[in-house]
């Protein structure tokens, strides 16, 4: 069985995951609240990670320890980026091939960490199963959209919950096109 691919991401109310230059400083007030908004429970539920080049480079630039030790992480990037940890593999396969490799490594639930470009590719290729958006009470006005793909799709709401920080987490399922009525 193909593993589930879950795009778990924070976005501004106007649908951006980062400023135009990739900065996420506007998330700091939320991160410093001490409320993890269910992150640990989500992280415990996944067993593999998929990320794009820009997201990986942002993580490297933060420095410090690799934040996802012990879970296989595939980074889709061309060129010679250094693997940040033993669990990290970097190649330039397609998203579908990457998911196959993570499946072969035993993964059943894969977190699509980001960013908008890879999410757009996975979305366009019909590979996304779930979308969990933490809607931040913030209007950015401009930025990197949730999906770098101008595609239309109906979703099914599975769950929603709000937090004292004003964050509302919306959990959607992507339906197979045939099931959309």
Binding site for a second copy (CB under 8 A): 13-15, 26, 29, 133, 135, 137-142, 145-147, 149-157, 160, 162, 166-168, 170, 172
Of 74 and 167, which CB lies nearer to a second copy in the complex structure?
167
The nearest distance, CB 14 to a second copy, in angstroms, is 5
Of 71 and 138, which CB lies nearer to a second copy in the complex structure?
138
Q: Which CA distances in Å does 83 have to 44, 59, 86, 97, 148?
A: 23, 12, 7, 19, 26
Cα(1)–Cα(106) distance, rounded to whole angstroms?
A: 11
The nearest distance, CB 174 to a second copy, in angstroms, is 9
Cα(115)–Cα(19) distance, rounded to whole angstroms?
A: 12
Of 2 and 161, which CB lies nearer to a second copy in the complex structure?
161
Of 101 and 124, which CB lies nearer to a second copy in the complex structure?
124
The nearest distance, CB 142 to a second copy, in angstroms, is 5
Residue ranges of alpha helices (H) inside 9-129 are 28-31, 39-45, 53-62, 95-104, 116-124
For residue 145, the Cα-to-chain-centroid distance in whole angstroms is 12
């Amino acid at each position: 069985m193909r593993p589930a691919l879950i795009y778990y991401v924070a976005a501004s109310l106007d649908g951006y995951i980062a400023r135009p230059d990739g900065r996420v400083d506007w998330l700091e007030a939320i991160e410093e609240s001490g409320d993890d908004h269910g992150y640990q429970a989500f992280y415990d539920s996944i067993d593999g990670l998929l990320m794009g080049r820009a997201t990986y480079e942002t993580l490297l630039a933060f420095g410090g320890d690799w934040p996802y030790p012990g879970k296989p992480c595939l980074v889709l990037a061309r060129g010679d980026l250094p693997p940040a940890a033993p669990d990290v593999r970097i190649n330039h396969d397609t998203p579908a091939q990457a998911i196959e490799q993570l499946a072969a490594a035993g993964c059943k639930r894969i977190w699509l960490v980001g960013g908008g470009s890879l999410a757009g590719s996975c979305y366009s290729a019909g590979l996304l199963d779930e979308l969990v958006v933490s809607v931040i009470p913030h209007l950015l006005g401009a930025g990197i959209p949730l999906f770098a793909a101008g595609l239309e799709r109906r979703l099914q709401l599975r769950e929603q919950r709000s937090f004292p920080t004003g964050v509302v987490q919306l959990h959607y399922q992507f339906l197979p096109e045939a099931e959309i009525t």
